[in-house]
Amino acid sequence: MLTPEGRQSIQDAEKSTIDAIACLITTVIIGGAYAAMDNYGTGHLMDTNNPALENYKQSRLWNELRPGDNSIVGRKAGKYLNIFGMDAESSGKRAGMVIEYPRGNIVPLPPSHALQTAARWLANGEVQAKIKSTIMAFPFHKYIIADTERR
């Protein structure tokens, strides 16, 4: 993740899971809006190959005044639901006007593709190699006591 908000938006390990079953390692990564914005970018820089983008655009969260290049623009006057699902209110003073830097104070983010990079890293065998080398190097004999008596 490129942003601290994106990193913090990925839920703690206790909420995520890593399972190892029959030589298969699986994991679930759960992130919020900041993680999605970090991963896919924002404004006119966003990655339009985001599989959830069309659903987002069809939701109440999307500002219908945004142009085809996805630039961030001001909203109509009134209450709206922001990307975090919280109520917010717009004065409407900049409705339809681009508010991305340098014309405004919102800095669009390029996509980090951090989640895709992590998935590729997990799939390329590097993780498995690290686990194997750790198992081979770990001094199990210091922590496991063998009972030599037969019962």
Q: What is the pLDDT of residue 15?
A: 53
- Count Cβ atoms below 10 Å from residue 2 Cβ, excluding itself: 15
Q: What is the pLDDT of residues 47-71, one digit of tens each?
A: 999 999 999 999 999 999 999 999 9
Tokens of residue 6, six digits: 């994106």
Tokens of 44: 């006119």
Q: CA geometry: angle at 72 spanning 97 and 2, to 5°? A: 150
CA within 13 Å, CB half, 145: 2
pLDDT tens profile 1-59: 888 888 888 765 455 555 555 566 667 778 899 999 999 999 999 999 999 999 999 99
Q: Are 43 and 70 in contact (CB under 8 A)?
A: yes
Distance CA 11, CA 14 (A): 8
pLDDT of 93 strictly over 70: yes
